[in-house]
Structure 1
Amino acid sequence: MVKETKLYEALEVDPACSDADLKKAYRKLALKYHPDKTGGASSAQFQDIGHAYDVLSDAQKRQVYDQYGEAGLSGEAGPGGMGGLSPEDLFSQFFGGGGGMGGRGGRPSGPRRGKDVAHGLKVTLEDLYKGKTSKLALQKNVICEKCEGKGGKEGAVKTCNTCHGQGYRIILRQMGPMMQQIQQPCSDCRGEGEIINAKDKCKTCNAKKVVSVRKVIEVHIDRGMKDGRKIIFNGEGDQAPGITPGDVVIVLEQREHEHFRRVDDDLYYNAKISLVTALTGGKIHIKHLDDRVLVVDILPGEVIRPNELKAVMGQGMPTERHHDFGNLYIQFEIVFPASNWTDAKELDQLRSILPPAAPLPELPKETLTEEVVLTEMDPHQKAKAERGHMGVGDDDEEGGHPGVQCAQQ
C-alpha cells in the first residue's frame, strides 16, 4: 500500500506498474505535452510529468515515496526538485539528441571512466642523460573472456529484487521530529546489484567479471627527461564492465647521484684540487654521465679560491625535445697540506715567492698586549663551537632560553 498516488496519477499509471510501464507512459506523455509542441501552453504539466518520472524511475526514490510520500523526499532531490536535472535535460537523456523539440543541446552521456593507476620507476641520472628503454611488469584487471564480463552463464545474472539493482538500500530512522535517511549495502546481493546462483557462476573469474593478468609495458625514457616526469599509457588501466579504462601513469624517480647534482638542465660537480694546483694551474679529470672524461685545464696564473664556482658551457644535461645542452658548474674545494708539512727553510722560500702579507696596523705604545696560541679542539669542543658560530646555544638544544639570533642582512 503506497502512501500517496499523486506522481503515479501524473503519469497515468497504477502504483503497481513495472519499470517498463513507467517508461512507456513517460514517453507518450512527454511527447504529447512538450512545450515546443504545444507552444508553451502545457509547460506546467510537462514539469509535473518530468518530476514524476524522475522520482518513480529511481528505485531508491520510489521506495521512499511509496512509504512516506513526497515529504520523505525532502533533501533527496537537487535543484528544482529533480536531482539537478531540468525537465529538458531528462527529456534529452530519455530520447537522445537535442534538449528539446527545437534541438536544444543536452548533457553528454557515456560510460564512466576508471581510475588512473600511477607507478614509480627508479632511474639514474645516466638514464636521463643518455635515454633508455625499460620494461615494467604490472598486474591489471581485464574483462573475463570466459563469461565476457557477465559473471556467469548467459541469462544466469539476475537483477536483485531487494535493491532493484542499486546495490544499496535506504533505511529511514526517526531522529526526533526529523527522518534520517541512511544508505546501507544491500545484504541480499552484497552490494553488487545482481544475484547469480552458485552453480551458474563463472569458474574462471568466480563471478567477479574480471581476471588479473600480468602486463609488460615498454617505457621509453627520452634524453633530458626530469625527475617527476609522467609518462602516460592511455587506456591501460584496470578494465571493468561498463567502464572506460583509465590510464597507467609512470612517474620517473631519479636516484641521487654520487658526484653530480642536477638543477633544471644544468649539472653541478664538486672537485677537490690541491693547493699547488689552485695556485699554479694544472689539469683535472671529470668522468661524465656518458663515460666521456672531460679534461679541465686550470691555466697557470689562474688562482682558484676555496668554494669558487666555474662553468664549462654546454656540458650539462640535454634539453628534452631540443638539441642543446645546459651547463656544467664546477665548485672547487681546495685541499690544504697538513700542519708541519715542511721545514722553516722551505717556508721562507715559499714566503718569498707568494705576495707579501698585509702589514698589521701599528698599536699605540700604551696598548696592553698578550701573546696567545691556537690549539686543536676535541670533537665535543668543536661541535659546541660550531653551534655557537651558527647562533645556536646549549640552551636552545635543551629547550631553554633562545640563543642569540643572526641579524638579517
Structure 2
Amino acid sequence: MVKEMTYYDVLVIKLNATQEELKKAYRKPALKHHPDKNPNEGEKFKQIFQAYEVLSDAKKKESYDKGGEQAIKESRSGGGFGSPMDIFDMFFGGETSALSHNVICNNCESQGGKLHQMGLGMVQQIQSLFMECQGHGEWISPKDRCKTAVEKKILEVHIDKSMKDEQEIKFHGEGDQEPGLEPGDIIIILGQKDHTVFTQQGKDFFMCADIQLVEALCGFQRLITALDNGTIIITSHTGQMIKHGSIKCVLSEGMPIYLRPYKKNCLIIKFEVNFPENGSLSPDELSLLEKKNPT
C-alpha cells in the first residue's frame, strides 16, 4: 500500500520543525518548481505553497495534524488558501548588497606573504630600525605579498513583507575573519522610506483623501492605487454625508501580516473636505446638489 504524502513530506521537515526551519525548507523547492522556471510544475509549486501556508499557521497546522487535508478543506479556518505568488514574493523579493571583508588566506595562512627570517649574530649590539621590516622582525617582498586577503562578496538580503523600520537581518559568521577567532556577524538594519500617500500607524496604513464639498454632500467614487499597484475603490453613496475629518476603515488593505502576507491589516482614510474658496458653489455644483437632493 502506497503511503499518502503529507505536507511534512512535501517540505521534508519534522512535525516539530521551527518557523526558521520551515522557511528554509520552503525556499529551495519553491524556486526549483516555480512555473516561470518549469512551466509543467504548476501543481507541484501549488502543493509546496499549500504545505507552507498550512504548517506556518498555528491554527491550520493544529487542524491538519488532527484531521489531515480534509480537516483544512472543511474548516477553512483561515479563510482558505491565499496566493502562491504572494508567498513566493515574500521569500524572493529581496535585494543584493556587495561588501568587502577580510578573509583568512589559504596561500599565506594570514601572514600576508612568504616569511623570511632575519639573520642574527651581530658582534656589537646596535639599536636601529631595520627599514625593510620597520622593526617588526619580518620582511615580505612586494612580489611575495599576498593580494587575496580581502574578499568581495555578494549578500542577498530578503525583505519580507511587513518587516518593520530598524528591523535587523543577521548573517551569521559573515563578518571579518581573523586567525584563531570565530568570524563575527553582519547585521543589516532596515530603513523605511517615506511614501507620498501612505504612512504606517502601528499595524495599519493611513492616508488623507481630499474631497470637494459637493462630493461630501452628494457622494462620490474614488480610485486609489495601493502599494502593490492594485486598485482600491472608495465609494460614498448619496445621502452618506462625509464630514471634514471623518474616518473610514477599509479592511484587508493595510500592512501585510508578518510571515502571512496573504492577510493584511486595515487602511485608515481621513477625509478632508475642501470648501469653495469664494464661499459659494458653482452653477454646475448647485445643479448636481439639487439633482441629488430634490426638494
Secondary structure at 1:278 match in 2: helix
C-alpha distance after superposition, 1:249-276 (max 9, x if no partner): 1111111101000123200011111111
CA–CA distance in 2 between the matches of 1:290 and 1:269?
A: 15
| TM-score (normalised: structure 1) | 0.41
Question: 1:212: how far off?
Answer: 2.0
Instruction: Give the counterpart letter for 1:195 in structure 2.
Output: G
Do the aligned partners of 1:147 and 1:202 also contact (CA within 8 Å) in 2?
no
Cross-structure match for 1:197:
139
- The residue number in structure 2 matching 1:145 is 106
Partner of residue 197, structure 2: 259
Determine whether 1:272 maps to 2:272.
no
Is the contact made by 1:318 and 1:324 (CA closer than 8 Å) also made in structure 2? Answer: yes
| Match of residue 165, structure 2, among 223, 227, 231 | 227
Q: 1:350 to 1:200 in 2, by over 3 A?
A: closer
| Count of matched residue positions in the alignment of Structure 1 and Structure 2 | 188
The match for 1:250 is: 188
Structure 1 residues not aligned, in runs of 5+: 1-129, 159-186, 355-409
Is contact 1:238-1:245 (8 Å) kept? yes
What is the rounded CA distance, in whole Å, between the counterparts of 2:170 and 2:118 in structure 1? Answer: 36
Cα deviation, 1:278-330, whole Å, max 9, x if unaligned, reads: 11212111100111111111122111111211111121011112353211000
Aligned pairs for 1:316-331 within 5 A: 316-322=254-260, 323-331=262-270
Contact 1:316 1:325 survives alignment (8 Å): yes
Change (3 A) 1:238 1:314: same
The residue aligned with 1:216 is 154
Pair 1:296-2:243 in alignment: no
Aligned equivalent of 2:275, options 313, 336, 343: 336
Where does the alignment leave 5 or more consecutive residues of structure 2 unmatched?
1-88, 120-128
Contact map agreement 2:114 2:145 (CA 8 A) in 1: no
Q: Distance in 1 between matches of 2:231 and 2:281?
A: 34
Q: Classify the secondary structure of the residue corresponding to 2:256.
A: coil
Match for residue 21 of structure 2?
none
Q: What residue number does 1:95 align with?
A: none
Once the two structures are aligned, what percentage of the paired residues are identical? 35
What SS is found at the alignment partner of 1:203? coil
Q: Distance in 2 between matches of 1:140 and 1:321?
A: 31
Native 8 Å contact 1:153 1:200 kept in 2 = no
What TM-score, normalized by structure 2, do the two folds share?
Answer: 0.55
Q: Contact 1:157–1:194 (CA<8 Å) still a contact in 2?
A: no
- Deviation, 1:193, is 11
Give the secondary structure class of the aligned counterpart of 1:147.
coil
CA RMSD of aligned residues (A): 3.4
Distance in 2, matches of 1:197 and 1:340, equals: 87
Partner residue in 1 for 2:56: none
Cα distance change on mapping 1:241 and 1:200 into 2, 3 Å? farther
Equivalent residue number for residue 135 of structure 1: 96
CA 1:289–1:199: 2 relative to 1, 3 Å: closer
How do 1:7-406 and structure 2 match up within 5 A?
131=90, 132-153=93-114, 156=117, 195-199=137-141, 202-205=144-147, 211-322=149-260, 323-339=262-278, 341=280
> Does structure 1 conserve the Cα–Cα contact (< 8 Å) formed by 2:116 and 2:139?
no
Matches of 1:328 and 1:157, distance apart in 2: 74
Find the residue that maps to 2:158 and give its secondary structure: strand
Letter in 2 for 1:148: E
Opposite residue 335 of structure 1, the aligned amino acid is N
